[in-house]
Structure 1
Protein backbone atom coordinates (compact mmCIF):
# COMPACT_ATOMS: atom_id res chain seq x y z
CA UNK A 1 0.00 0.00 0.00
CA UNK A 2 1.13 3.55 -0.55
CA UNK A 3 2.24 5.58 2.44
CA UNK A 4 2.47 9.33 2.85
CA UNK A 5 5.53 10.57 1.03
CA UNK A 6 5.41 7.80 -1.57
CA UNK A 7 3.54 7.55 -4.80
CA UNK A 8 3.34 3.84 -5.46
CA UNK A 9 1.56 0.75 -4.23
CA UNK A 10 2.80 -2.77 -3.82
CA UNK A 11 0.86 -5.74 -5.13
CA UNK A 12 1.98 -8.98 -3.57
CA UNK A 13 1.24 -12.54 -4.55
CA UNK A 14 0.56 -15.09 -1.80
CA UNK A 15 1.92 -12.91 1.02
CA UNK A 16 0.42 -15.21 3.68
CA UNK A 17 2.20 -18.20 2.21
CA UNK A 18 5.63 -16.62 1.89
CA UNK A 19 7.26 -19.25 4.14
CA UNK A 20 5.86 -22.07 2.03
CA UNK A 21 6.79 -20.47 -1.27
CA UNK A 22 9.98 -22.47 -1.57
CA UNK A 23 7.95 -25.69 -1.48
CA UNK A 24 5.66 -24.73 -4.36
CA UNK A 25 6.36 -26.22 -7.78
CA UNK A 26 7.89 -23.82 -10.30
CA UNK A 27 4.75 -24.02 -12.46
CA UNK A 28 2.63 -22.67 -9.60
CA UNK A 29 5.12 -19.87 -8.91
CA UNK A 30 5.06 -18.92 -12.60
CA UNK A 31 1.25 -18.94 -12.61
CA UNK A 32 1.15 -16.69 -9.55
CA UNK A 33 3.70 -14.34 -11.10
CA UNK A 34 1.54 -14.16 -14.23
CA UNK A 35 -1.49 -13.20 -12.12
CA UNK A 36 0.53 -10.56 -10.25
CA UNK A 37 1.74 -9.17 -13.59
CA UNK A 38 -1.78 -8.98 -15.01
CA UNK A 39 -3.01 -7.16 -11.90
CA UNK A 40 -0.06 -4.77 -11.87
CA UNK A 41 -0.64 -3.93 -15.53
CA UNK A 42 -4.35 -3.36 -14.88
CA UNK A 43 -3.51 -0.97 -12.03
CA UNK A 44 -0.94 0.86 -14.18
CA UNK A 45 -3.41 1.18 -17.07
CA UNK A 46 -6.13 2.52 -14.76
CA UNK A 47 -3.72 5.02 -13.24
CA UNK A 48 -2.85 6.27 -16.71
CA UNK A 49 -6.55 6.69 -17.42
CA UNK A 50 -7.26 8.42 -14.08
CA UNK A 51 -4.35 10.87 -13.87
CA UNK A 52 -5.85 14.37 -13.73
CA UNK A 53 -5.71 16.37 -16.96
CA UNK A 54 -5.86 20.12 -17.43
CA UNK A 55 -8.26 21.95 -19.73
CA UNK A 56 -5.98 21.40 -22.71
CA UNK A 57 -6.20 17.63 -22.19
CA UNK A 58 -2.61 17.28 -20.97
CA UNK A 59 -1.97 15.27 -17.84
CA UNK A 60 -0.40 16.80 -14.78
CA UNK A 61 3.36 16.92 -15.34
CA UNK A 62 3.39 13.92 -17.71
CA UNK A 63 2.52 11.45 -14.95
CA UNK A 64 0.67 9.26 -17.45
CA UNK A 65 3.93 8.58 -19.24
CA UNK A 66 6.01 7.88 -16.15
CA UNK A 67 3.82 5.55 -14.06
CA UNK A 68 5.75 2.30 -14.00
CA UNK A 69 5.86 -1.24 -12.63
CA UNK A 70 8.82 -2.79 -10.84
CA UNK A 71 8.85 -6.50 -10.12
CA UNK A 72 10.62 -8.23 -7.25
CA UNK A 73 10.82 -11.65 -5.67
CA UNK A 74 10.68 -13.58 -8.93
CA UNK A 75 7.69 -11.56 -10.14
CA UNK A 76 5.56 -12.28 -7.07
CA UNK A 77 5.72 -8.67 -5.89
CA UNK A 78 4.92 -5.71 -8.10
CA UNK A 79 5.34 -2.06 -7.15
CA UNK A 80 3.20 0.25 -9.26
CA UNK A 81 3.69 4.00 -9.24
CA UNK A 82 6.18 6.77 -9.85
CA UNK A 83 9.78 5.99 -8.99
CA UNK A 84 11.63 8.87 -10.62
CA UNK A 85 12.52 11.59 -8.10
CA UNK A 86 11.33 14.16 -10.65
CA UNK A 87 7.80 12.79 -10.17
CA UNK A 88 7.67 13.79 -6.49
CA UNK A 89 4.55 15.88 -7.14
CA UNK A 90 2.53 12.70 -7.72
CA UNK A 91 2.28 12.50 -3.93
CA UNK A 92 0.73 15.98 -3.83
CA UNK A 93 -1.86 15.01 -6.44
CA UNK A 94 -2.63 11.71 -4.73
CA UNK A 95 -3.06 13.11 -1.21
CA UNK A 96 -3.63 16.81 -1.82
CA UNK A 97 -2.00 19.73 -0.07
CA UNK A 98 -3.18 22.45 2.23
CA UNK A 99 -4.17 24.55 -0.75
CA UNK A 100 -5.19 21.87 -3.29
CA UNK A 101 -7.60 18.98 -2.86
CA UNK A 102 -6.47 15.43 -3.53
CA UNK A 103 -6.87 14.14 -7.08
CA UNK A 104 -5.97 10.50 -6.55
CA UNK A 105 -5.37 8.08 -9.38
CA UNK A 106 -3.24 5.37 -7.77
CA UNK A 107 -5.56 4.41 -4.93
CA UNK A 108 -8.73 4.33 -7.05
CA UNK A 109 -6.92 2.10 -9.55
CA UNK A 110 -5.80 -0.21 -6.78
CA UNK A 111 -9.28 -0.40 -5.29
CA UNK A 112 -10.77 -1.19 -8.71
CA UNK A 113 -8.34 -4.10 -9.10
CA UNK A 114 -8.68 -5.45 -5.56
CA UNK A 115 -11.76 -7.66 -6.20
CA UNK A 116 -10.23 -9.05 -9.41
CA UNK A 117 -6.81 -9.80 -7.92
CA UNK A 118 -7.64 -13.01 -6.06
CA UNK A 119 -9.63 -14.30 -9.02
CA UNK A 120 -6.67 -13.67 -11.35
CA UNK A 121 -4.33 -15.64 -9.10
CA UNK A 122 -6.82 -18.48 -8.69
CA UNK A 123 -7.50 -18.69 -12.42
CA UNK A 124 -3.80 -18.89 -13.26
CA UNK A 125 -3.17 -21.63 -10.68
CA UNK A 126 -6.22 -23.60 -11.88
CA UNK A 127 -4.87 -23.53 -15.44
CA UNK A 128 -1.65 -25.17 -14.23
CA UNK A 129 -3.44 -27.78 -12.13
CA UNK A 130 -5.69 -28.99 -14.98
Structure 2
Protein backbone atom coordinates (compact mmCIF):
# COMPACT_ATOMS: atom_id res chain seq x y z
CA UNK A 1 0.00 0.00 0.00
CA UNK A 2 1.35 3.39 -0.90
CA UNK A 3 0.51 6.66 0.80
CA UNK A 4 0.33 9.91 -1.05
CA UNK A 5 -0.84 13.31 -0.21
CA UNK A 6 -4.61 13.35 -0.19
CA UNK A 7 -5.28 9.70 0.52
CA UNK A 8 -4.32 6.06 0.34
CA UNK A 9 -4.29 3.91 -2.74
CA UNK A 10 -3.34 0.39 -3.75
CA UNK A 11 -2.08 -0.96 -7.01
CA UNK A 12 -3.35 -4.27 -8.28
CA UNK A 13 -1.16 -6.05 -10.78
CA UNK A 14 -2.08 -9.05 -12.82
CA UNK A 15 -5.00 -7.65 -14.80
CA UNK A 16 -3.31 -8.63 -18.06
CA UNK A 17 -2.83 -12.19 -16.82
CA UNK A 18 -6.43 -12.30 -15.57
CA UNK A 19 -7.74 -11.00 -18.89
CA UNK A 20 -5.72 -13.65 -20.77
CA UNK A 21 -6.97 -16.42 -18.47
CA UNK A 22 -10.58 -15.29 -18.87
CA UNK A 23 -10.19 -15.29 -22.65
CA UNK A 24 -8.83 -18.84 -22.43
CA UNK A 25 -11.78 -19.88 -20.23
CA UNK A 26 -14.44 -18.20 -22.36
CA UNK A 27 -15.26 -21.27 -24.50
CA UNK A 28 -15.41 -23.46 -21.40
CA UNK A 29 -17.68 -21.01 -19.58
CA UNK A 30 -19.98 -20.77 -22.59
CA UNK A 31 -20.16 -24.58 -22.74
CA UNK A 32 -20.97 -24.68 -19.02
CA UNK A 33 -23.73 -22.11 -19.47
CA UNK A 34 -25.11 -24.00 -22.47
CA UNK A 35 -25.18 -27.18 -20.39
CA UNK A 36 -27.10 -25.45 -17.58
CA UNK A 37 -29.60 -23.95 -20.05
CA UNK A 38 -30.12 -27.35 -21.68
CA UNK A 39 -30.63 -29.13 -18.36
CA UNK A 40 -33.12 -26.53 -17.17
CA UNK A 41 -35.02 -26.49 -20.46
CA UNK A 42 -35.27 -30.28 -20.37
CA UNK A 43 -36.45 -30.14 -16.75
CA UNK A 44 -39.22 -27.66 -17.66
CA UNK A 45 -40.15 -29.81 -20.66
CA UNK A 46 -40.29 -32.98 -18.54
CA UNK A 47 -42.35 -31.41 -15.76
CA UNK A 48 -44.75 -29.90 -18.30
CA UNK A 49 -45.19 -33.27 -20.02
CA UNK A 50 -45.81 -34.88 -16.65
CA UNK A 51 -48.44 -32.38 -15.52
CA UNK A 52 -50.24 -31.22 -18.68
CA UNK A 53 -53.90 -32.23 -18.62
CA UNK A 54 -54.82 -35.07 -20.94
CA UNK A 55 -58.20 -35.23 -22.64
CA UNK A 56 -59.55 -38.75 -22.14
CA UNK A 57 -62.65 -38.15 -24.27
CA UNK A 58 -61.13 -39.92 -27.23
CA UNK A 59 -60.77 -36.71 -29.26
CA UNK A 60 -57.29 -35.88 -28.09
CA UNK A 61 -54.89 -38.66 -27.26
CA UNK A 62 -52.08 -36.95 -25.35
CA UNK A 63 -51.38 -34.42 -28.10
CA UNK A 64 -50.17 -31.65 -25.79
CA UNK A 65 -48.19 -34.09 -23.69
CA UNK A 66 -46.43 -35.43 -26.78
CA UNK A 67 -45.67 -32.06 -28.35
CA UNK A 68 -43.93 -30.04 -25.65
CA UNK A 69 -40.82 -28.89 -27.47
CA UNK A 70 -37.61 -26.93 -26.84
CA UNK A 71 -36.14 -24.32 -29.15
CA UNK A 72 -32.62 -23.07 -28.49
CA UNK A 73 -31.20 -19.82 -29.80
CA UNK A 74 -28.24 -20.05 -32.16
CA UNK A 75 -25.63 -20.05 -29.39
CA UNK A 76 -27.52 -22.29 -26.97
CA UNK A 77 -27.55 -19.68 -24.21
CA UNK A 78 -31.33 -19.29 -24.22
CA UNK A 79 -34.20 -21.70 -24.73
CA UNK A 80 -37.94 -21.55 -25.24
CA UNK A 81 -40.11 -24.39 -24.01
CA UNK A 82 -43.68 -24.86 -25.12
CA UNK A 83 -45.93 -25.81 -28.00
CA UNK A 84 -44.87 -24.50 -31.39
CA UNK A 85 -46.88 -26.64 -33.82
CA UNK A 86 -50.17 -25.42 -35.25
CA UNK A 87 -52.11 -28.39 -33.93
CA UNK A 88 -51.30 -27.31 -30.37
CA UNK A 89 -52.98 -23.90 -30.75
CA UNK A 90 -55.34 -24.73 -27.89
CA UNK A 91 -52.49 -25.08 -25.37
CA UNK A 92 -52.99 -21.40 -24.47
CA UNK A 93 -56.62 -22.10 -23.61
CA UNK A 94 -55.66 -25.04 -21.42
CA UNK A 95 -52.86 -23.05 -19.74
CA UNK A 96 -54.76 -19.79 -19.18
CA UNK A 97 -58.39 -20.86 -19.37
CA UNK A 98 -61.29 -19.19 -21.15
CA UNK A 99 -64.54 -17.65 -20.02
CA UNK A 100 -66.07 -21.09 -19.73
CA UNK A 101 -63.04 -23.29 -19.00
CA UNK A 102 -60.87 -22.81 -15.90
CA UNK A 103 -57.10 -22.64 -16.40
CA UNK A 104 -55.13 -25.86 -16.00
CA UNK A 105 -51.57 -24.55 -16.14
CA UNK A 106 -48.60 -26.86 -16.54
CA UNK A 107 -45.94 -24.82 -18.36
CA UNK A 108 -46.02 -21.87 -15.95
CA UNK A 109 -45.74 -23.99 -12.81
CA UNK A 110 -42.96 -26.07 -14.40
CA UNK A 111 -41.02 -22.89 -15.10
CA UNK A 112 -41.51 -21.64 -11.53
CA UNK A 113 -40.37 -24.97 -10.15
CA UNK A 114 -37.18 -24.79 -12.21
CA UNK A 115 -36.44 -21.11 -11.56
CA UNK A 116 -34.36 -21.60 -8.38
CA UNK A 117 -32.72 -24.73 -9.74
CA UNK A 118 -31.61 -22.79 -12.81
CA UNK A 119 -29.61 -20.29 -10.76
CA UNK A 120 -27.99 -23.17 -8.86
CA UNK A 121 -27.19 -25.00 -12.12
CA UNK A 122 -25.54 -21.92 -13.63
CA UNK A 123 -23.51 -21.29 -10.51
CA UNK A 124 -22.34 -24.91 -10.20
CA UNK A 125 -21.37 -25.17 -13.88
CA UNK A 126 -19.34 -21.95 -13.85
CA UNK A 127 -17.66 -22.84 -10.56
CA UNK A 128 -16.64 -26.21 -11.97
CA UNK A 129 -14.89 -24.48 -14.88
CA UNK A 130 -13.13 -21.97 -12.64
CA UNK A 131 -11.66 -24.61 -10.33
Please, what TM-score do these two structures have when normalized by structure 2?
A: 0.76
Structure 2 unaligned spans of 5+: 1-22
SS state at 1:83 partner = coil
The Cα of 1:62 is off from its aligned counterpart by: 1.0
Count of matched residue positions in the alignment of Structure 1 and Structure 2: 108
Distance 2:60 2:75 in 1: 33
Query: Which residue of structure 2 aligns with residue 43 of structure 1?
Result: 44
Which is bigger in relative contact order (C-alpha 8 A, separation at least 6)? 1
What does residue range 81-120 of structure 1 map to in structure 2 within 5 Å? Answer: 81-120=82-121
Q: CA RMSD in A?
A: 2.1
Determine which structure has more spread, i.e. the larger CA radius of gyration.
2
SS state at 1:25 partner = helix
Distance 2:56 2:64 in 1: 16
SS state at 1:114 partner = helix
The Cα of 1:61 is off from its aligned counterpart by: 5.1
Please, what TM-score do these two structures have when normalized by structure 1?
A: 0.76
